[in-house]
Amino acid sequence: MPEDYSIDVRGMTKRFGSLTAVDHVDLRVRKGEICGFLGPNGSGKTTFIRMLCGLLRSDEGSGQCLGLDLVTESESIKRQVGYMTQRFSFWEDLTIQENLDFVARLYSLPNRRDAVRQSLERLGLQDARNQLAGHLSGGWKQRLALAACLIHEPRLLLLDEPTAGVDPKARREFWAEIHQLASLGLTFLIATHYMDEAERCHRLAFIMKGRLLARGTAAEVVEQGHLTTWAVKGPNLPDLANRLAERDGVEQAAPFGDTLHVSGSDAVALEAAIAPFRAPPYQWHAAESGLEDIFIHLMDRTHTEDVGS
């Protein structure tokens, strides 16, 4: 049923002159779901997010966001969505509390002081409320940005690479908070470059050059990739990677610690390609393809198709 979805859009398209930044994208995200939105720089992630929250109008497409028409009810959508931009976009010469108070004013919130106090408490900011935003670390800036996104109690959060430049501990705390909020019914669309973060999402959507190439759970996306991967250990793996990359059937030869992952979409051709290197000093074993393997495969395939077209 459509009411089960916070995002339910079809054919979303946005052009800037001759550039098609978002190319007929269909996407559904259920209420309370965390959807990871993956893709390289320039793939259309930010443009699509801005279309969803009403900052950009689509050239084609239709659908609903929070049950509201994306085209005719964009102003109503804006008041029910929290949008966290790629870069820290708050006032560095104001304190944490002053920034939140300013955002509360923008939304004309009743009982503004209570809303600010609750926002400070929710994200553990009350003890630092008088610190200037410009003096905060990356993790604390992220926490302030999330608090500002939540202050008007939105039903959908659109987060554009929210953990860029944040240390691992702050990233883990951030994701714990995201899952806690999702358990309360909030829906998330989170653009990220990090594969470990992608695996924390309920579902994934991968966009490349404006086109949606894969979607589903992490396991479903890996299965859809139809990629066979072998892992090899031994001496001078960089040289082995260069030699394998020249052979038909090998699409990737990428280092993972002290192991080389060798992948291809044609299992028979891949086995033939690695056969001359199966003897000692190399040790080979079949490996599961990971999300990173799949996404690099999709990127390479798209590039090859574009060159050939």
Q: Is the pLDDT of residue 269 over 90?
A: yes
Query: Is there a common fold for 2-222 and 228-288?
Result: no
Place of tokens 């077209």: 309
pTM as predicted: 0.88
Q: What is the pLDDT of residues 173-200, one digit of tens each?
A: 889 999 999 999 999 999 988 888 899 9
Q: Hey, where are the domains in the chain?
A: 2-222, 228-288
pLDDT band at 305 (very low <50, low <70, confident <90, very high): low
* CATH 3.30.70.860 fits domain 228-288: yes
Contact assessment for residue 36 and residue 16, using Cβ atoms and an 8 Å cutoff? no
Q: What residue has token string 């999330």?
A: 146
- What is the fold of 2-222? Rossmann fold (3.40.50)
